[in-house]
Amino acid sequence: MMTLYNLTGCPYCDMARRRLDELKLSYDVIEVPAMRPMRQEVHRVSGQWTVPVLVDDGEVFDDEDKIIAHVNKKYAT
């Protein structure tokens, strides 16, 4: 199962979620706080404070372009 770290209202997160949904992929969403210093889990997982972050099979993708490229390569038919 994939996990997407997301911030509601973030246009970059929206881009990543839109592509995951277009591919009809199952994923968990973890909503992160708006205040970056409070995003301890995102930082622990990715080493950064920004979102979106996708974790798929232990691999971490820390940018919407990287997320979209990954799911296109791995899951698009």
Which structural domains are found in the chain, ordered by start? 2-75 (3.40.30.10)
Contacts of 23 (CB under 8 A, 6+ apart): 71, 75, 76
* pLDDT bucket at 15, cuts 50 / 70 / 90: very high
State the pLDDT at residue 48: 95
Q: What is the CB neighbour count within 10 angstroms for residue 36?
A: 14
- Burial class (CB within 10 angstroms; exposed 0-12, middle 13-18, buried 19+) of 71: buried
In this prediction the pTM is 0.95
| pLDDT tens by residue, 21-75 | 999 999 999 999 999 999 999 999 999 999 999 999 999 999 999 999 999 999 9
What is the rounded CA–CA span in Å between residue 8 and residue 70?
A: 22
Residue 77 scores a pLDDT above 90? no
The mean pLDDT of 12-22, rounded to a whole number, is: 98
**Rounded Cα gap, residues 20 and 40, in angstroms:** 24
